[in-house]
Chain A
Amino acid sequence: GAVVSQHPSRVICKSGTSVKIECRSLDFQATTMFWYRQFPKQSLMLMATSNEGSKATYEQGVEKDKFLINHASLTLSTLTVTSAHPEDSSFYICSASTRNSNQPQHFGDGTRLSIL
C-alpha cells in the first residue's frame, strides 16, 4: 500500500533553533499534503494544506511566518518551524493524497518536537 515517510521522528533542540520536518510520499504522487499538530492527549488539528507548486493555505491562528511550508515536488513537502520556542513543542504529523479523491489519505508516523 501507499507509504508516507516522515523525518525526523524525534527532535530535541534549544529554543531559537529552526527545525525542518520532511514528508515524502514513497510510491505515489502526492498532489496535496496536509500538516497537523497534536498536543498531548488531544486530537489532531489541521495547521495547513499544501498543494504542489503553490503556496500553502494556513488555518486560522497558524502563523505562516512561523511555520514555513514548501511543497516543491509531487513527492515532498517540508514544514520548517522557525525560531522554535518551548510552546512549539508538539507532535507534528503529515498526510498525503493523490488526485484520485476516492482514495484515503495516508499519514506519516509523525515527528515529536521538543524545544528546551
Chain B
Amino acid sequence: GEDVEQSLFLSVREGDSSVINCTYTDSSSTYLYWYKQEPGAGLQLLTYIFSNMDMKQDQRLTVLLNKKDKHLSLRIADTQTGDSAIYFCAESLNSGNTPLVFGKGTRLSVIA
C-alpha cells in the first residue's frame, strides 16, 4: 500500500537553509506535494511536482525528486522565523481526482 515517511523534527538557525526530506513507496505516484500547516490552521499548498520532473524552484523553495529512490526533498533558502510550521509531504496518483496520502509531517523550528 501507499506510505509516506518524513522525519518528525528539524531545527535550523534563521538565515540558514532548511532541507526537509520525504520518502514514499508507491512508484505509480504521479504528483508529489509539500503543504505547510501553522498552529491551529489549515493546509497551505507550497508547491508540487510532477513525477516526470527532477526539480522545481519557486523563489526560496526548491523541490528535488529522485524517482528511482522515491525520495522527495524541500529546501527552504534563507529560512525565516515565519517559516516555523509543520510541513507535510503528500502523494497522489493524479492531481485532482484521487485523495492525497500524507506523511506525518516535519515540525520545523527556526531559531533566531
Interface extent on B, as a size class? 20 to 34
Q: Which residue of B lies closest to A98 (CB)?
A: B96
Q: Which residue of A lies closest to B86 (CB)?
A: A41
- B102 within 8 Å of A by Cβ? yes
Instruction: Pull 13 A–B residue pairs with CB atoms less than 8 Å apart, ordered by A.
Output: A43-B105, A45-B102, A46-B100, A49-B99, A93-B42, A99-B96, A101-B94, A102-B96, A104-B31, A105-B95, A106-B45, A109-B41, A110-B42
A-B contact sample (11 more), CB < 8 A, given A43-B88, A102-B96: A42-B104, A44-B88, A46-B100, A49-B99, A98-B96, A99-B96, A101-B95, A104-B45, A104-B48, A107-B42, A108-B42
Please list the 6 inter-chain residue pairs (A to B) with the smallest Cβ-Cβ separation, ordered nearest first: A97-B96, A109-B42, A110-B42, A101-B96, A107-B43, A43-B102
